[in-house]
């Protein structure tokens, strides 16, 4: 059973998501909250698998709520998905840096929402290729900030290579084909890199790769 918490200041939006999710076998909505502060309290009380959090809310923003969840060791298994009306705006970018596993537009088709929940539960980044390219564009437009991304020296050559490929949006299977290794080996390298960097999921590998300068505008 996948346990989901809903955090959104619009009651109608929460009701719509709850109706959709409760009707799906294998998914349970464990609670709702109307703002970020109550959302963090809900997540701490229920420790759901997924927290769907609106990016802009009163009392505490979705970004701050995400940061508090992501930095709480007791909530390490919780995956945050940001809900937004506007696509990859500055708020979503900051939410990914704060620890979100991805984002969804509020007008996402029901089937896409259900698939997205499955993707995030598996520990994958909820970033489509087009979104990944946009995210990359945000990073490469800025100079690397190695001071905010320690840990590069801890990675082996192979781990640096798979991290760079994952940051370009490649799946484990695609990484395996590029490096001429098995998908299992590719997954192992990715997992080890995530462990060494303290990354919650692949979305955080993307953040690390660009903030550290491991990947650059010229392909790094």
Q: Which residues of 123-148 are buried (b: 16+ CB within 10 A; e: fewer)?
A: bbbbbeeebbeebbeebbeeebeeee
Q: What is the pLDDT of residue 3?
A: 95
User: What's the confidence (pLDDT) of residue 32?
Assistant: 95
SS3 call for 181: coil
Burial category of 198 from C-beta neighbours within 10 Å (exposed 0-12, middle 13-18, buried 19 and up): exposed
pLDDT given for residue 8 in this prediction: 93
What pLDDT score was predicted for residue 120? 79
| pTM value surpassing 0.75 | no
The pLDDT, as a whole number, for residue 65 is 95
- Residue 211 is predicted with a pLDDT of 72
Averaged pLDDT score across all residues of the chain = 80
The first and second tokens of residue 211, run together, are 């903030």
pLDDT at 147: 46
Give residues with Cβ within 8 angstroms of 76, minimum separation 6. Answer: 200
The per-residue pLDDT for 9 is: 92
Query: pLDDT digits over 136-168, tens only?
Result: 556 555 554 544 455 677 888 888 888 888 877
For residue 218, pLDDT over 50 is answered with no
Distance CA 39, CA 92 (A): 18
Q: In the predicted model, what is the mean pLDDT of residues 30-40?
A: 95
Residues 84 and 91 sit within 8 Å (Cβ to Cβ): yes
pLDDT of residue 68: 95
**Dihedral over Cα of 105, 95, 128, 115: its sign:** negative
Residue 7 has pLDDT above 90, yes or no: yes
pLDDT tens profile 76-116? 889 998 888 765 556 766 777 788 887 777 877 888 888 88
């Amino acid at each position: 059973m996948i346990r989901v918490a809903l955090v959104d200041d619009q009651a109608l939006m929460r009701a719509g998501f709850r109706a959709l999710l409760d009707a799906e076998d294998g998914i349970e909505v464990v609670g709702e909250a109307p703002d970020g502060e109550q959302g963090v309290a809900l997540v701490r009380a229920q420790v759901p698998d997924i927290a769907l959090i609106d990016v802009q809310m009163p009392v505490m923003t979705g970004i701050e709520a995400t940061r508090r969840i992501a930095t709480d060791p007791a909530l390490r298994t919780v995956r945050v998905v940001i809900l937004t009306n506007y696509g990859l705006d500055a708020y979503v970018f900051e939410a990914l840096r704060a620890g979100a596993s991805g984002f969804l537009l509020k007008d996402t088709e029901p089937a896409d929402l259900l698939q997205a929940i499955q993707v995030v539960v598996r520990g994958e980044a909820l970033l489509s290729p087009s979104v990944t390219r946009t995210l990359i564009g945000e990073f490469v437009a800025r100079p690397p900030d190695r001071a905010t991304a320690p840990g590069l020296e801890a990675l082996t050559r192979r781990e640096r290579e798979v991290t760079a490929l994952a940051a370009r949006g490649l799946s484990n299977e695609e990484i395996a084909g590029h490096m001429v290794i098995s998908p299992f080996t590719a997954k192992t390298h990715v997992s080890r890199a995530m462990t060494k960097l303290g990354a919650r999921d692949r979305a955080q590998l993307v953040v690390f790769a660009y903030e550290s300068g491991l990947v650059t505008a010229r392909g790094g």
